[in-house]
Amino acid sequence: MRFHFSPKTPLLSLSSSSFTSLCLRPFLPSAPKSPFYPSLACHVSTGGNLRMDSTSPDPSSSSSVSVDSVADGLKSQSLREHDISNNNNMNNENKKNNGKLSLEDLNWDHSFVRELPGDPRSDSIPRQVFHACYTKVLPSAEVENPKLVAWSDSVADLLDLDPKEFERPDFPLKFSGASPLAGAVPYAQCYGGHQFGTWAGQLGDGRAITLGEIMNSKLERWELQLKGAGKTPYSRFADGLAVLRSSIREFLCSEAMHFLGIPTTRALCLVNTGKFVTRDIGNPKDEPGAVVCRVSQSFLRFGSFQIHASRGGEDLGIVRSLADYAIRHHFPHIENMSKSESLSFSTGDNDQSAVDLTSNKYAAWTVEIAERTASLVARWQGVGFTHGVLNTDNMSILGLTIDYGPFGFLDAFDPSYTPNVTDLPGRRYCFANQPDIGLWNIAQFASTLMTANLISDQEANYAMERYGTKFMDDYQAILSQKLGLQKYNKQLVNKLLSNLAVDKVDYTNFFRALSNIKADPSIPGDELLVPLKAILLDIGKERKEAWTSWVQSYIQELVASGLSDEERKASMNSVNPKYVLRNYLCQSAIDAAEMGDFEEVRRLLKVMERPYDEQPGMEKYARLPPAWAYRPGVCMLSCSS
């Protein structure tokens, strides 16, 4: 198969069901028979056509060697070795309370607006913005007695911000955008993207306004961004505002994902504006407005590069400038690579040509982005998380989970699950398809860099190969850890996933309970399922036999591993959370907050900050969803903004 690509059209014109995970494919209703990516090597041929051949790189060849071993050492180098502007010098005399700062004393830097081309206009009139990475624009959301709904002490610590600042009477005014924050230089970013597989042109920050970058005492760079702060040139026909409902979901999930150990953007605080916003999710309704302050080391996305490549001409130079900026500030170890690292890999092609990552920093950068993305998606799969809008404008170059619109954690295990009502007809972004969509998006990003002449077709192909290898390596390691096994057992995992799908077993609670299985082959057959009796509900004789057979095979693997039951249980419970942010938990907190009671939002945040702990007294947050949560659209509707 051959697929023509350009930044304006999908690089891989594949339906969501035609390129699916090896492990989950058998459980989709109409899944094709061909296996997941490592068995389908993607190659970009000379002339700009992507082909997919039924060949696979030899896992024992040098092409399967990761750059991790060298890059990890380089990443550990302090940013103090990296050249930063004099504006980043820490003002120690302004520190107070053990090094914590007031809002006025935060150490601002504005590298993005200082080093990249900007829009000469600063109005918020919706329009096409050319030859620019951003538009300076002020927050404009109206407020009336705004209130602080919730906050994250953990994120405040990242910024060296004194947590007592949350108690300031003017804090809600500043973080709703109604009152200027000293030192901020607000702007909205310009980007494009593929939405549901189709090039959508210019998108951009339609309701998110970045305030600037904070440099903390470790010289880490953190961007602060207000989502729901008003119109920008990228708002198109929207009002630039956000409602409390969707803002609570974004705030809570940003923090919940972090404490699960999954790379993500963070959230400093959530403010209720005191004004109402009209939304139509079946019928027009006035809802409480809100602004969430998102925090990330960068909000650059695949689409940040795509928009400029799609326009061609002089804008191709912006792609290079943007790539240089990203490498300089967020991948400095790549800038420091030299020929002595000998990062040269065979691509597996017939001509035995090689990719030398030290000769082209953009190639090394692309490979790292591909691997970070693969690792991220593997971690999502491990906790049963589904990103409902996995468009290229929602793909972070840092490998972070970004833009929490429709999302969901699996309750009953269903590989075809999607949290996005818009995605229901084709289920492009369903749980089982996420690994393949990640690769599809990497292909779009690679084609963008090829268009700007930053990488070759061979280098693009190698990045995609690395995505496949990295995903499978990480996914298998994660599943092995969840099962408490020393090595991956494909047959055991496939049979487990099949059983989970057939009986619609709760994904989170099953793996948590699994640690109670004893590595004792002498346990009578009729007692094997006792540790899982609260999980395996309403199954008949035939299904009990299927599960008993699986548990017997599982116990054999446990015995072979040699770990004690206590040691294995502790290990498994450290990777199998007891608490995840189920949709019905969000909805309960939203219902209370819309009535003016924010305590449930704050309580839920505290529970999600310790997802792997037992937390006596909080057991209700680990329960299965109540009957009302299964009504069509109940939790999906809360995802809309």
The residues that are catalytic are 393
d(CA 2, CA 496): 36
Nearest Cα to Cα of residue 424 among 439, 411, 413, 408: 408
* N-to-C CA span, the chain: 39
Tokens of 321: 């400038």
Nearest Cα to Cα of residue 411 among 377, 434, 372, 383: 383
* CA angle (179, 185, 191) in 5-degree steps: 115
Q: What are the Cα distances from residue 344, in Å, to 338, 347, 373, 579?
A: 12, 10, 22, 43
Nearest Cα to Cα of residue 140 among 208, 236, 204, 213: 208
Q: What are the Cα distances from residue 602, in Å, to 58, 422, 606?
A: 50, 30, 6
d(CA 356, CA 339): 9
- The number of beta carbons lying within 10 Å of the beta carbon of residue 452 is 22
Judge contact between 300 and 334, C-beta under 8 A: no
Strand pairing category for 147-151 and 134-136: unpaired
Q: What are the Cα distances from residue 157, in Å, to 48, 151, 223, 605?
A: 47, 12, 14, 16
Judge contact between 464 and 439, C-beta under 8 A: yes
d(CA 547, CA 221): 50
Q: Which residues contact 32 (CB under 8 A, 6 or more apart)?
A: 17, 18, 20, 25
Tokens of 66: 């990761």
- The number of beta carbons lying within 10 Å of the beta carbon of residue 600 is 17
Burial of 283: CB neighbours in 10 Å, binned 0-12, 13-18, 19+? exposed
Rg (CA), the chain: 25
- The number of beta carbons lying within 10 Å of the beta carbon of residue 120 is 10
Strand pairing category for 2-4 and 344-346: unpaired
Tokens of 287: 């809802």
